[in-house]
Structure 1
Amino acid sequence: MAKEVAVVAIHGMGDTKSNFDEKFKSKLSKILGDDISSKVHFDKVYYQNILQNNEEIVFQNMEKEKIDCKWLRKFILFGFSDATGLERNSEDSGSPYTKAQKAILNTLENCSQELGGFDKPLIFVAHSLGCQLLSNFIWDSQQIPTKKGIWLSMKYSQPEENNFYRLKKMHSLFTIGCNIPVFVSGFPQVDIKAIATQDSGYNFVWYNYYDRDDVLGWPLKPLSPSYNKAVKADYEINATGGFLGFFLKSWNIFSHNNYFTDSDVLKPISTAIRKAITP
């Protein structure tokens, strides 16, 4: 039986396992209950494998030397290598930039199968660097003429198929621990443009969640007038939470990597799912 809505998770920067979304799905399903969760197709975009082998080689070479804080060094090395590597050669069909967009497209193709077509809603939950990847995917699809990325070669004969893959069926976008500002803050304010959310055939609501102690997660509305208009709201949460959060007040890896399982993120996503199923 076809599902009623697809919820797609996109991971962030750093060394990420392919099962990164398991706890997210489990906790969200518990909040939704069996009846609603049975109507949801859960999917993910996994792109870490595009660059991971190269990053592993470099880190293994570095480990031969005397270095401390290896876990943090690995996070930074993988994270910033992802950020720079995935922005490279965006016009090249074989570039990491285009491969990452193909990973998104592959997930959408799977979603269309599970949803039984192209007319049902999508909800995206993008973390960290995944926010930038998804923003690039949508931005490139909205440009006429297309200048880079996967849309240089992708063409669909049926309007409903084209609209689905360009994410015009997106119901809600949740960005968590978003670091888009890192990529665009050097531009003049007039050039810091957000993706279209309420025009050009798009009609989705964008919610952004950040932890004040997470230096890699940012509010988006102050970024520029364009982002102020595109993003419905920035929500400050405590993504570390509980006993650990009481002690860890400055930035730590936990404050950046715990968004997917934080109840302050999961509850509004569950609300959006219910609205998408019963408009």
Structure 2
Amino acid sequence: MQTRNVSSSGPGAKKLAVLIIHGIEVDDPGLFETAVRLLRKHFAEHGGASPDALAVETVNWASVLEGAEKDLLARYGPADTDAYWKSLYDNVRTVNQGHESALVPLMLRLMRPSLRGMDLHYPGLRWMLVHFVGDIIAYQTNPADPDVYTSIHRKVAEALGRLRAQAGDDAPLCVIAHSLGSVIASNYFYDLQVQRFAGRDIIEETVRAAQGSSPLERGETLSHFYTLGSPMALWSLRYPRAELDQPVCVPAPELTRHHPRLVGRWINFYDDDDVFAWPLQPLSEAYRAAVEDRAVRVAGPLFSWTPLVHPFYWSDDGVMRDIGASLAGAWKQLSSAPPVAA
């Protein structure tokens, strides 16, 4: 059993715990640099607090699939294609920093019709399918072999452990998740809630072993959920005969016990031009009550009017300003509340 971290609950030391989860991606260690910088900046502007009041951890789960995806490509291409694959990685990583112009050379490379030594045409588009559509296919729950699903969820559990070490055992938990990451986050915390409230042990053993026992790691302090460009509506197709009346509870029901004055919310950001992104309220009355859909215009002079806006939520100043302002409001509520007795 972990000991209670009391240092985070002293005057002036309270923190918000922010967990960031990416969507379909290549393995990119610098993916969140722009997002975290903008988030801290806008949080400080709206909250009058130090950016250090945000404890931030990221879930870089693309590494789970990177090896298998590279192996698959290697079966179909000669060894000297490495430079071509690397150029695609480098372009995507530049796009991830918010450089919209990097889409132009990326698209030109993706549309290359052939590659010496590779029989299949359009190798770049195949690379993209392996890395992006492949993520979606691999993540689906497979009871016979749940390795990818559980490996990704272990990454989430491990990040929550690091976050607890930064912010304290009962710090309010705020989750920001993009694209497929919003599905991963919803599944992860839904599984925790089913385990707690329905008594159904649906969490795989190795994931459970990686989960800590603090309120934060158990999801009891989940207060804010920000979904960006979420395709969660498409996942309803997996359950065509089921009534979608049980979205993940945001805020978590136990939040009032830990932080009685904190008002939680779920905001779903979507750009009308982003074909991956869907409002969630039309799914059911339960989603209508749980989620605030917020239409945004992801900025950019070149491709803001096209479906290519999908990667740019992380680097969009307007989106990060809205989230930073929301977190600042939560921090003010937290700072003004008297400490809860242990």
* TM range, smaller chain: 0.7 to 0.9
Partners of 1:10 and 1:128 lie apart in 2 by 9
> For 1:262, which of 316, 323, 328 is the aligned residue?
316
1:274 matches 2:328: yes
**TM-score, scaled relative to structure 1:** 0.85
Pair 1:237–1:148, CA change in 2 (3 A)? same
> For 1:100, which of 149, 152, 162 is the aligned residue?
152
1:121 matches 2:172: yes
Shift, 1:60, TM fit: 3.8
Pair 1:23–1:199, CA change in 2 (3 A)? closer
> For 1:237, which of 296, 304, 308 is the aligned residue?
296
Partners of 2:123 and 2:170 lie apart in 1 by 49
Partners of 1:275 and 1:209 lie apart in 2 by 18
> For 1:36, which of 23, 26, 50 is the aligned residue?
50
Partners of 1:88 and 1:57 lie apart in 2 by 22
Question: What letter matches 1:222 in structure 2?
Answer: P
Pair 1:173–1:8, CA change in 2 (3 A)? same
User: Higher relative contact order by CA 8 Å / sep ≥ 6: 1 or 2?
Assistant: 2
Question: What letter matches 1:106 in structure 2?
Answer: E
Residues 27 and 66 in structure 2, CA contact (< 8 A), matched pair in contact too: no
Residues 20 and 59 in structure 2, CA contact (< 8 A), matched pair in contact too: yes
1:76 matches 2:129: yes
**TM-score, scaled relative to structure 2:** 0.70
Question: What letter matches 1:82 in structure 2?
Answer: D
Q: Partner of 2:153: helix, strand, or coil?
A: helix
In the alignment, what sits opposite 1:23? 34
Residues 112 and 118 in structure 1, CA contact (< 8 A), matched pair in contact too: yes
Shift, 1:4, TM fit: 1.0
Shift, 1:102, TM fit: 1.0
In the alignment, what sits opposite 2:248? 195
Question: What letter matches 2:176 in structure 1?
Answer: V
Residues 238 and 245 in structure 1, CA contact (< 8 A), matched pair in contact too: no
Question: What letter matches 1:224 in structure 2?
Answer: S
In the alignment, what sits opposite 1:137? 188
Partners of 1:59 and 1:102 lie apart in 2 by 26
Gapped runs of 5+ residues in structure 1? none
Partners of 1:182 and 1:194 lie apart in 2 by 14
Shift, 1:83, TM fit: 1.2
1:210 matches 2:210: no
**Which contiguous aligned blocks of 4+ residues in structure 1 show a shift greater than 6 angstroms?**
none
Pair 1:73–1:91, CA change in 2 (3 A)? closer
Partners of 1:189 and 1:126 lie apart in 2 by 27
- Deviation by residue 1:43-98 (Cα, 9 ceiling, x = unmatched): 1011111111111222344452342371x443332222111211233586x61111
Gapped runs of 5+ residues in structure 2? 1-6, 9-13, 78-117, 257-263, 334-342
Partners of 1:96 and 1:148 lie apart in 2 by 16
Root-mean-square deviation (CA, aligned residues, Å) is 2.8
Residues 18 and 57 in structure 2, CA contact (< 8 A), matched pair in contact too: yes
Percent of residue pairs identical: 23
Partners of 1:200 and 1:32 lie apart in 2 by 26
